[in-house]
Amino acid sequence: MERVSPEQLAEFAAGVRKRWNVPGLVVGMLRDGEIVLAADGQRELGRPEPVTPDTVFRIASITKPFTATLAMTLVQDGLLALDEPPPGTHIDATVRQLLSHQGGLAAEWPEPLDDSGLLELTEGEPERLPVAAGELFSYCNSGFWFVAAGIARKLGTSFEDAMRARVIGPFGLASTGFEADDPARGHEQVEPGADEHAPAETWYPPGRTASGGLWSSVPDLLRFAEQHLGKPGPLTASSVADMQRVCSRGPGFGYGLGWFLRRRQGHDAVEHPGSVLGFQSLLTLVPEERVAFATLTNSSRGYAAIRDLLREIGLGDDEPPTVESADLARFAGRYRGQESVIELTPEDGVLRVERTEIDPFSREAMVLPTVRARPIGESEFEIVDGEWRGERFDFPRTGFLCMDLRLLQAE
């Protein structure tokens, strides 16, 4: 990878932000201990304040590697066992299975969440998938809630206080926390696929904090990344290696403990995206190069800009070849999951993908723009158009589809 100057990074950031009409974007790169930062756009539409390199955003699911890091500090102290269920919980899946999205649980709670706290929430019954723990990858927020509840019970404190005491404080993350002063405001597109945005809702259920509740800045994310690139700190080298070892697999990636593991332009990358309430983000590490990349946006289409930015700096997605498939009809049909209904139809050598998503907060249905997907493997496909281009899905077992990281079953 070639070095990127501050001027180049600023030019790239401004270009992709404007291309995708994202209100605000902050990006940073860490290389051999040196940090380069750039910021472009506004904290909130209709207000004059610009984003700066230190602006705080909701980082959404980048919280997951933080929660896994917290768990590993307890493993190091002999307070938590990876291959046993979380202490004090009533589920059979182990901590390792839950932290690698193979706990056999649906992504979200079976009913809308209220103001219930983590311990109260996890006394209830989660929705189970039609597969057992350890069988298949299916992205799961609720699994992280059970791990966090087990940590809180073991330590006799709250999950949030445990995170502050064992990760945020020792890692020196001054702008990271579960509340934020003067943060960027999230923005949702006025309709799926639209360029126009409107400010998003701000309420976040307290029971979800372990899967997506943190706020942070790009400099803090890069400090966090340094620990996972080998800088001496609270995590041992063995714990860092355990987190970056494949435990489960999905379409085009492996997953460790709180980290996606994939290839980017010939490099092994360790990363996690985030998306919630009008924010989208990404933290990527390239351990062999001692490089980290963090981008925060306040847009529900921010990842389209992030994907282009990755290409600009030489960390774009590897381009898989198109594979001829003589029998696309075997994948056709309607698939249903907790949050999605997917209709797949063969059409001129590709699959037409029609999606309806259920918002986990409002429970409202959203019909997304139709896209096409090309075959890139025996049972793996890549979306080729729209702001979701490059996303992959596969059929891990007859009758099952893994799309948007979630497992769906054929009707």
Average pLDDT of the segment spanning 262-275: 96
Average pLDDT, integer, range 273-300:
97
37-66: pLDDT as tens digits = 999 999 999 999 999 999 999 999 999 999
Average pLDDT over residues 188-198: 93
Spatial CA neighbour of 262 closest among 321, 315, 323, 322: 315
Structure tokens at 152: 């809180």
The pLDDT-based confidence of 326 (bands split at 50, 70, 90) is low
Q: Is the pLDDT of residue 85 over 90?
A: yes
Taken in order of first residue, the domains within the chain and their CATH numbers are 1-318 (3.40.710.10), 328-410 (2.40.128)
**3-state secondary structure string across 91-124:** CCCCHHHHHCCCCCECCCCCCCCCCCCHHHHCCC
pLDDT tens profile 152-172: 999 999 999 999 999 999 999
pLDDT of residue 32: 87
User: In the predicted model, is pLDDT for residue 376 greater than 70?
Assistant: yes
Helices (H) and strands (E) in the chain, counts: 10, 21
**One-character DSSP codes across 56-83:** -EE-GGGHHHHHHHHHHHHHHTTS--TT
Residue 395's pLDDT is what?
A: 96
Cβ density class 176-192: b for 16+ within 10 Å, e for less: bbbebeebbbbbbbeeb
pLDDT range class, residue 346, cuts 50, 70, 90: very high
- Cβ pair 339, 360 in contact under 8 A: yes
pLDDT at 410 over 80: yes
- Flag whether pLDDT at 1 surpasses 80: no
Residue type, 123: E
The yes-or-no verdict on residue 362 having pLDDT over 80 is no
| Helix 63-76 and helix 218-228, axial crossing angle in degrees, nearest 10 | 40
At 288 the pLDDT is 94
Question: What mean pLDDT comes out for the span 103-117?
Answer: 93
pLDDT of residue 305: 97
Alpha carbon distance 327, 272 (integer Å):
34
The confidence band for 360, taking pLDDT boundaries of 50, 70 and 90, is confident
Give 327's pLDDT tier (boundaries 50, 70, 90).
confident
What confidence category does residue 320 fall into, taking pLDDT thresholds of 50, 70 and 90? confident
To the nearest whole number, what is the mean pLDDT of the chain?
Answer: 95
- Residue 330: which pLDDT band, with cuts at 50, 70 and 90? very high
Share of the chain above pLDDT 90, in %: 91
Longest pairwise C-alpha distance within the chain: 59
The structure's pTM equals 0.96
Q: Which positions ≥6 away from 111 have C-beta within 8 Å?
A: none
